[in-house]
Copies of this chain bind each other. A is one copy, B any other.
Amino acid sequence: MATGARRERERAEREQAIIAAARDLALAEGWEAVTTRRLAAEIEYSQPVLYSHFKGKDAIMAAVAVEGFAELATALASARASAADPRQAVADVAAAYTAFAEQRPALYDAMFTLAVDLPFASQGVPTDLARGFAELADAVRPVAGDDDLEAVTETFWSGLHGLVTLMRSGRLRRADQDRRLAVLVRCFSR
């Protein structure tokens, strides 16, 4: 009778395998290489199995994005925790953010560029997204008069997001990224 529990566990493992395969494939070859057929081949099942776990390809991408939000939050947290002083914290958090986007471009795309609507109504995202947002907020708190801390944080976040996306799409020269980061950090510290 406990066979049902095993089945359920195996199902969960397979679901995780799908997410991992999608993530790895996207990181290695970009999201355009992630097709349902390749995904199915990767996990050694047929295509329809994917649809018994997720509503569609978008839902798979959303699941990958959810993992990304958790990773980003912890990356920001460790950057802020190891900063010497509040001033440095802003710079370190900003550097951690851009480094995350640079090193996991496909993950960043899933989180912010593709899969527009799905994850935000779901369960796991708001938590991890809020965690990351809170790290940014704590970093810029000294500069904000408390009432509009939220607006300041969101603007700081937008600045980072803009730097990352414009550079990744070739609109900004990669070489000057540090200088631009310094300008942004100067705006949001002191």
Contact surface of A with B, Cβ cutoff 8 Å: 112-113, 116-117, 120, 148, 150-152, 154-155, 157-163, 165-166, 169-172, 176, 179-180, 182-184, 187-188
Q: What are the residues of chain B within 8 A of A188 when measuring CB–CB?
A: 187
Q: Which of B120, B151, B165 contacts A183 (CB 8 A)?
A: B151
Q: What are the residues of chain B within 8 A of A183 when measuring CB–CB?
A: 148, 151-152, 155
- Is the pair A158, B170 in contact by a Cβ cutoff of 8 Å? no
Number of copies: 2
- Is the pair A180, B159 in contact by a Cβ cutoff of 8 Å? no
- Is the pair A157, B151 in contact by a Cβ cutoff of 8 Å? no
Q: What are the residues of chain B within 8 A of A180 when measuring CB–CB?
A: 151, 154-155, 158
Knowing A154-B180, A176-B151, A183-B155 are in contact, say whether A117-B162 is a contact too (CB < 8 A). no
Q: What are the residues of chain B within 8 A of A184 when measuring CB–CB?
A: 155, 158-159
- Is the pair A159, B155 in contact by a Cβ cutoff of 8 Å? yes
A162 to B184, CA, bound (A): 13
A188 to B180, CA, bound (A): 13
10 smallest beta-carbon distances between A and B, as pairs: A162-B162, A158-B162, A187-B187, A161-B162, A151-B179, A155-B183, A158-B163, A159-B159, A155-B180, A151-B180
- Report the nearest B residue to A185, measured CB to CB: B155
- Is the pair A165, B170 in contact by a Cβ cutoff of 8 Å? no
**Cβ of A30 to closest chain B Cβ, rounded Å:** 11
Q: What are the residues of chain B within 8 A of A161 when measuring CB–CB?
A: 162, 165-166
